[in-house]
Structure 1
């Protein structure tokens, strides 16, 4: 081998090592399976890889890295770089964002859900609390108002919720408890089995989850207009990983988030458009609850639970009233601008 060949080979190896050194690969922890709820994460990964020319990639795992209730813990220790979690899984770890899970906030569509979520995520109290877990908020996973699927005779009056065993977390669980329901917080992946075995009578989910986790296949009826609230499930990144990105990579990542959200909204909109056809196909009755019964539910489970949350947060040194007011003003401003 000539000295020229040796130098050429050495140069090629150095170039290879340099290329490998600058490549950024993130692991992302999700759960369940790919569905409308995770489409923005896939879109974000696609955009980041495309804009970086393949130098910044994301490996998305469904349950292979962590369980859904431990994703925030995994982020805190740097077990992976990005993850999704739901506030109701561990409200003590993410108190500030549980304002978004309060019942009867009046959010009526996905665009409004994005607006109020991101306004809350930008609040200093949220950033400070998430920093305790080495986590930085990236984007929400907006979901429509939750509704029930159930078996047996439809429950279309508030009195029929008394004693009802319902899979519901966070503020929704509190709302059903306020009218005599018995909430359980089994994970979304366990909901079908809980319904099938009779552990619960009803399951509160958004439409995509009733499809993805199969609860719609156990259902006899669906409450089309109960709309008590929803859960809040952010996507977060490990702060060290985010700060370790180059300026170019960070710009690529940040600029791709709005595009990922737009993709999510368009995709979820298509699911909502065909929801009635799904109900008909599966023989599920859509139950309309009267305005009188809805007003009773909101009176018992709306204002009182909201006020109790504000007082509890204030007592803990959190800006409860400020966060609640931020949701209300953001909702007003969003509607005024549209």
Structure 2
């Protein structure tokens, strides 16, 4: 691909079939200066970080080792909630962040957390996120943090994993203390749950100690990544109220200083991440779902129950989000774009 990041800093080239894991025999060396880029994330290596590692490997390979990237795990460089601040301070060159960790820093991107958006497949969600990254409102929002969207980590739909009495009906969430951020948290609140927001790294202790009764995370890899099944009794298999977005973003100053051939290399690698994440999440589900089914009670809701949940906690949350943000930016336009992108089925 020859498309450049530039003003189109993060559009995934959906539909382009690229080979993931280019062999060294076929890799073309890109000549340029010696660089060392730091990548800030949290937790341990897992499906969520597969794209970061792939990017680092490909950059090193293509430049003959001249451009090195190192992924720093476990909040070594920054707390998960402060990665945008670190980019603004030029503390590192690449970072991940989750929008619902700090809604005030990225209010427009919070549209991806709206519950029961009409997206279901992996490709649907990837298309919506890529299109949103092209919107001027969202790009300007990131520019305030000296950041450019690069690619989404394409988180799957969320489901709940919890301890204590299992919610056999969505109404059973009433009174439960639930870790669920953004629009998903708002949806749970409409069911009478008590919404709590915390980084994923804190969920194990919270569930173990009873600070929360249930945790919503991407199904199933994230629950397993933080070993929540060790301290849980049940999980929901098909509630799937929505997801969030935890994009990979690049320090704008660092990107602008790159020679053009390095910018082109990043653009070439960018669409590969779509397939890297697809494979990583599929492999995680194949590995962890049987373990969940063996250890935990599996809760599957009927179509009627899910329809009632959508009616009570779907579109009403969308409209409240627009009303709450309309004075900051054109929230209705962002929601309309999201729904428009969700309705597109590829070209």
TM-score of the superposed pair, with normalisation by structure 2? 0.88
Shift of 1:336: 5.3
Shift of 1:22: 2.2
Q: Is 1:74 the equivalent of 2:55?
A: no
Structure 2 partner of 1:22 = 33
Q: Structure 1 residue 313: deviation in Å?
A: 2.3
Residue of structure 2 equivalent to 1:87: 99
| Residue of 42, 45, 53 corresponding to 1:42 | 53
Output the CA distance in 1 between the equivalents of 2:337 and 2:147: 22
Of 288, 292, 298, 2:304 maps to: 292
| Partner residue, 2:334 | 323
Shift of 1:306: 0.2
Structure 1 gap ranges (5+)? 1-20
In 1, distance between residues paired with 2:104 and 2:210?
29
Once the two structures are TM-superposed, the CA of residue 276 in structure 1 deviates from its matched residue by 3.0
* Alignment equivalent of 1:271, drawn from 276, 284, 287: 284
Q: Which residue of the other structure, out of 29, 34, 42, is the alignment partner of 1:31? A: 42
* Residues in 1 aligned to 2:199 and 2:267: alpha-carbon distance in whole angstroms: 30
Q: Which has the higher helix share?
A: 1
Give the Cα separation in 2 of the matches to 1:279 and 1:106. 27
Q: How far apart are 1:98 and its partner, in Å?
A: 0.7
Structure 2 segments unaligned to the other structure (5+ residues): 1-31
Is the contact between residue 221 and residue 288 of structure 2 (CA under 8 Å) also seen in structure 1?
no
Q: Matched residues in 1 for 2:289 and 2:109: separation? A: 32
Displacement of 1:145: 1.1
What secondary structure, in the 3-state scheme, does the structure 1 residue paired with 2:250 have?
A: strand
Q: How many residues align?
A: 314
Match of 2:189 among 145, 164, 177: 177
2: CA distance between counterparts of 1:130 and 1:113?
20
1:313 counterpart residue number = 325
Say what the alpha-carbon RMSD is for the aligned residues.
1.3
Measured in 2, the distance between the counterparts of 1:24 and 1:103 equals 41
Matched position secondary structure for 2:175 = coil
For residues 277-318 of structure 1, give each alpha carbon's deviation from its aligned partner in whole angstroms, at most 9, with x where no partner exists.
Answer: 12134x1121111222212211111111101112222222x1
Larger-gyration structure (1/2): 1
Name the SS for the 1:296 alignment partner: helix
Distance 2:150 2:253 in 1: 14
- Runs of 4+ more than 4 Å apart: none
Task: Say whether the 8 Å CA contact 1:147–1:226 is kept in structure 2.
Answer: yes
1:216 is matched with 229
Query: Does the 8 A contact of 1:52 with 1:252 survive in 2?
Result: no
